[in-house]
Amino acid sequence: MHAPSIEILIEQFAQLPGIGRKSAERIAFYILGTMSEADVEKMSSLILSSKKKISFCPECQNLTDTVPCPICSSQKRDRSVICVVETPKDVAAIEKTNEYKGLYHVLHGALSPIDGITPEDIKIKELLVRLTNEVKEVIMATNPTVSGTATAVYIQKLLQPMGVKVTRIAHGIPVGGDLEYADDVTLIKALEGRREM
């Protein structure tokens, strides 16, 4: 349909998460037709330098360009609490609330035997190494999916003998949501997680 070099570029963009064929085509044609060569060079240089500079924090496994990351190195964070999340994007989402003041641990995935993702494929061992006497609570903030829940339960069972309190974030109806549009599982979780007013 297009010149082979354009097709290759479209295919590369289509491999990115959330980018389908049409979006990949739009991006490719924007870069080729609208962006100046200087802007394309600047963008590609930024991507390459970011890829070289960014690494996993040796403590929390979040993406960072400093070692340790700003959260782990902050003296203002509560070191007795670790919030376990699946991805670096989850850290950003929780940080936006300005409510949580503890530390994080990024698993970089969730258990999924169907997809071949085992405990060795995500950062569970690194979490266990971090559990000192200082850590009193581990908050499981994995996604409310089958794999996210299985991951939370698996980690909870590993931590049980260590005497660390393990909690799970609440799930249920979002603020501003209508009950009639909620699925059965969401309603069940909302009822299970109810608390006194």
Cβ proximity of 94 and 140 under 8 Å: no
Give yes or no for residue 178 having a pLDDT over 90. no
Confidence of residue 197 (pLDDT cuts 50, 70, 90): low
56-168 is a CATH 3.40.1360.10 domain: yes
Structure confidence at residue 120 (pLDDT): 96
**What does pLDDT average to over the chain?**
92
Q: What is the pLDDT of residues 136-160, one digit of tens each?
A: 999 999 998 889 999 999 999 999 9
Reported confidence tier of residue 64, pLDDT bands at 50, 70, 90: very high
The yes-or-no answer to whether 4-53 and 56-168 have a common fold is: no
Q: Could you tell me which residues come within 8 angstroms of residue 39 by beta carbon, excluding any fewer than 6 positions away?
A: none
- What lies within 8 Å, CB to CB, of 14 at 6+ separation is 20, 21, 23, 24
- Annotated domain spans of the chain: 4-53, 56-168
Selected from 1.10.8.420, 2.40.30.110, 1.10.10.60, 3.30.930.10, the CATH number assigned to the domain covering 4-53 reads: 1.10.8.420
